[in-house]
Structure 1
Amino acid sequence: MATGTTVPATVPTSVRVLAVDVDRFRRSRAGLVRLLRETRPDVALLHRVPTHPFSGHRVGGLASDVGLVVAVSGRDSAGAAVLTSLRLSPDGTEALAGPGGGMALATLRLTDGRRLRAATVTTRGGDADQAGVAAHLLALLGPPDDVPTVVAGDLPGTAGGDALARRLDDLTPGAAPTAPAGTPRTRPRGLLGHAATVRQVALPGAIGARPDLLGKVVAERPVVVDLLLS
């Protein structure tokens, strides 16, 4: 197929999404690099990224080390970041920081022209503050459409989290609560989506098979989904 040829929309394509709490980069950086390399995500949704004035280069350096690029990050998103592979390019980005936390949202375009929305949320404060972050994200998402959407991060059972859950479908199996990284559960704080089929839910690689190693890398068990876009 010639370079630049558009793939017909009827041919499904797979996009791998990783949702991970990086715990302010306070754990093993080498382990986090290994996790990302073994997972090979097209979209990495990070939450609890450090937000101090000199932290930006750390996010950029991590992305560079694993062959990803930063779509949106920084203090404006209050510790939320979206990284992507070279298969995708940003069509637009939004960031929010406030009393209830923050979010990073990127509308991404695949090389074949199809689009995907990806957002990650980090929350703090009371229920009302968190609901404000969720309401802002819902306003940006708008009514359901045919653009596949995935949202990850801190989505507890607050009014805001419940509103997001009504807008999107749960992409993780079971109903287990958030689990520490050293336990075998696979549910993150939240991973929701719309207009995409989940082909796989897995955590590949050696670190994924070793909870004792995983707990040295991240605070909570990451989740990987392969989204099959039609």
Structure 2
Amino acid sequence: MASTRFTHGLGIGVLLLGACSDDGGGDAETGASTVSADGPTSASSMDATADGSDSAGLLCGDLDDEMVEPAVSIAVVNMRNEGMWLPLINLCYFSVPYTFTGPGGGGVAWVGPDCGTCQSWAQGNCACPGAACSEDVLLYLEPGGVFEGSWSGAEFVSDTLPDTCPGLEQCGATCQRAVQAPAGSYTLEVQAGRTASGCTVEPCACEPFDGRCTVFDMTAAVDDPSPYTAVFDYPSETSVQIVID
């Protein structure tokens, strides 16, 4: 049977600062007139400026990641008196055993892009780390074993860089940025079963360390898994346990 258990913890705020700079001086007002050998000219407020603003005055800094808080700690705990197998969801640089749905019942885009957000893309910093994706397929939890994870409290939404951002040519226009996730009821769910099969070497097995271990075998799967869920209210609850019992 699925079970839910909550405790409270401290949130962690992450402050991400804007990257646009001053234009280095000049007239304090846009539209100020100047005189040259060709006669009077006007510096229009609709022109692009060195600080990365476009013709509508949009600054690259307007696409900075938002300050996000509080963070949520997540634990998957095996309270049964036998080991349990859980399928892993591969998120490239790490894997988790749980799915995540938000207040509207849809999926939560809680994992940031591998190659950076709009904040770094605006300045041309969009290089991806080298290939180092996790290839684990299954998680094994011993009796009393715990898998620990976390969520920053951010959702990642698509946005577009203004035409005059310095990084547009190198990185492209479409990017993602972190925004504060809305308040509401969130659900975490894992699938767990007593046995796993389909491993190249049967039976499926791994050597637990600190109550858990993982298996990389693309043909492996959990036999007859059952769902276990936990529901928590964000941001009032910042610690959640999914209990397998």
TM-score of the two chains, using structure 2 as the length reference:
0.22
Name the TM-score, length of structure 1 as normaliser: 0.23
Greater C-alpha radius of gyration? 2
